[in-house]
Amino acid sequence: MNTENYDVIVIGGGAIGLATAYHLGKRKAKTLVLEQYTFVNQLGSSAGVSRQFRIPYPDEYMVQMALDAQPYWDELEKEAGISLLDKVGTLWFGDPEVHSTEGNIAEAEKALKALNVPYTTLTAKEIEEKYHFRNLPENYTGLFQPDGASINFKATVETLLNLCEKEETVHLEDNSPVLKINQTGKLFEVITPNGIYITEKLAIIPGPYINSVINLLDFKIEATYWNMSSAYFKKTDPDIQYPTWFVFQNSEGENGNQFYGFPSVDWDYPEYIRVAPDFVIKPLEEPNDRTLIPNPQELGYTSEWVEKHMTGLSLEPEYTSTCLIALSTIPNKELLIDFAPNYVPNHKNIVVYATGWAAKFTPFLGKIMSDLTLDGHTDFDITPFQLGRKYFLAI
C-alpha cells in the first residue's frame, strides 16, 4: 500500500472541501482531498442543483459573513469564466411575529439597517402585486433585498473540482473513505482502502458525515439529520418569474410549516419553479439512513401551499429531489467552525467545519478553512461559530 506525505489532508470533497483545497492550492500547499464517494455526488449536503444566496439574517455577524462572501463569488466566477449566481433578489415575507430556522423578519431588518444593507419593506398587498403570490393574510409583511441570487450549485462544485484538478499541488482521491487516523508525534496517518497518507494538518469537512470522521479522533458533535425534499412545479404561465423567497408562517391553517423557493433557471428544469419545505417531518437518526426519495407528506404540504398561495404554476410537482443536511442541536450555533477540542492530541492542527446552511458562503468558507489550517487563524471573526470544549463530546 502506498504511503504519501502532504502538507494538508482535506477530508470531504463536497463544495466546501473543494473550496478549501482550491484556496490551499493557491498558496501552493501540497494538499490531498479524500472523498468517500465520487466527486459531485448526490449523497451529501452538496446534492441538488440550486441554492439561495441571501444577505438577510437576524444576526449582524451572519449578514456580515454574506457581505464578505460576495467578492469571493466574484473571484470564483472570474477565475472560471462562468456565471454562477443569477441575481434575482431575496424576498422574505410572512407573519412578523414568527421565529423559524431562518430567523425573524423584524430582527433581519434591524441587522440589515445596522450594516447599511439596502432593502425595501412590503405589505401583504404589495407582495401579491409585485411577486405573484396570493391569499396572504393582511398582517403579513415582507422585505426585498436586491442582492439575493439563485446559485448554480452543481456548476459551482464542478468549477471548484476543475480548478483543483488544474492545481499542481492538489491531489484528488474519490471512493476513499477514511477508515482510521493514527497519530505519531505531530504527524497524522490517515488510512483509506486506497492508501496510507501522512500529514501534519487535517481539514475535516465531510458535511453530514462529520461524526464518522471525528469519532476516529475520539470526539463527536451533537447533530440532527434532515433528508430535505424539493419539488418542481411546471409553469402554466411561461412569463411568470419569482425571486428567491422564504415565507414565515404561524401555525393556524398552515400546519406551522415554512417554505422557500427559487426562480426558474436555465440550468435546472427551465420551465419549472422549485418550491421546498423548510421542515422535516421525521429526522434521521444517522446519515446513512437517508434515501433519495422525498417524504410524501412533506411534498403534500408543499403542493397545498403552492395551490393556495402561488400563481402561474401547475398544482402537482413533476420532479423531486432530496439533499441530506446536518443541523447543530446547539442553540445559535448554525455553522460550526473550530479546531478540535484541546484534549485531542495536536488539536490546533485539526480544523473542523460542520452543520448548517452554508452553500451561500462556499468560496469564502474555503478561504477561512485554508487560513485556519495553514496559519492557525483567520482575519474573519469565527467566534460565533466556535464550539470550545463545552460542546465537543469525548467518546
120-176 pLDDT tens trace: 999 999 999 999 999 999 999 999 999 999 999 999 999 999 999 999 999 999 999
Look at residues 276, 297, 328 and tell me which one is the last residue of a structural domain: 328
Mean pLDDT of all residues belonging to the chain: 94
Q: Does residue 111 share a domain with residue 260?
A: yes
Q: Residue 111: its pLDDT value, please?
A: 97
Sign of CA dihedral 87, 60, 389, 9: positive
CATH of the domain at 378: 3.50.50.60
Q: Could you report the per-residue pLDDT of 324-369, keeping only the tens digit for each?
A: 999 998 887 889 999 999 999 999 999 999 999 999 999 999 999 9
Domain shared by 135 and 241, yes or no: yes
pLDDT of 253: 46
Identify the weakest region by mean pLDDT among 103-112, 176-185, 384-393.
Answer: 384-393
Q: Locate 211 and state its grid cell.
A: 461524526
Domain count for the chain, please give it.
2
DSSP code of residue 118: -
Dump pLDDT digits (tens) for 24-39. 999 999 999 999 999 9
**Predicted pLDDT of residue 98:** 85
Amino acid at 62: M
3-class secondary structure, 45: coil
Alpha-carbon distance values, 54 to 86, 144, 278, 377 (Å): 12, 10, 16, 26
Confidence (pLDDT) at 2: 63
Q: With a cut of 90, say whether residue 92 has pLDDT above it.
A: yes
Task: Return the pLDDT at 1.
Answer: 59
18-22, 195-199, 289-293, 309-313: least confidently modelled range: 289-293
pLDDT value of residue 391: 60
- Whether residues 300 and 173 fall in one domain: no
- Residue 167, in any domain of the structure: yes
Say yes or no: 121 and 234 in one domain: yes
Query: What percent of the chain has pLDDT above 70?
Result: 96
CA torsion sign for 159, 324, 232, 257 is negative
How far is the CA of 258 from the CAs of 56, 139, 255, 298, 358, in angstroms? 16, 17, 9, 11, 19
- The percent of residues above 90 in pLDDT, for the chain, comes to 88
Q: Binning pLDDT at 50, 70 and 90, where does residue 299 land? A: very high
Are residues 205 and 295 located together in one domain of the fold?
no
Residue 129 shares a structural domain with residue 100 = yes
Q: Based on the domain organization, do 179 and 95 belong to the same domain?
A: no
- As a whole number of angstroms, the distance between CA 204 and CA 244 comes to 31
Residue 54, in any domain of the structure: no
Half-sphere exposure of 111 (CA within 13 A, CB side): 21
Q: Give the domain range for residue 180.
A: 3-46+154-222+331-394
Do residue 163 and residue 261 come from a single domain? Answer: no
> Which of 296, 328, 360 is the last residue before a domain boundary?
328
319: domain CATH number is: 3.30.9.10
Confidence band (pLDDT; 50, 70, 90) for 388?
Answer: low
User: Are 307 and 386 found together in one domain?
Assistant: no
Does 85 have pLDDT greater than 80? yes
Q: Clarify whether residues 176 and 216 are in a common domain.
A: yes
Contact predicate 232/265, CB 8 Å: no
Residue 244 and residue 314 share a domain: yes
Q: Which of 328, 347, 378 is the last residue of a domain?
A: 328
Task: Name the grid cell of 317.
Answer: 410537482
pLDDT at 254: 45
Note the helical H segments in the chain.
15-26, 60-80, 105-114, 124-131, 153-166, 210-214, 296-309, 362-375, 388-391
Asked whether the beta carbons of 236 and 246 are under 8 A apart, the reply is no
Q: Exposure string (b/e) for 173-209, b if CB count within 10 Å is 16 or more?
A: beebbbeebeeeeeebebbbeeeebbbbbbbbbbbbb
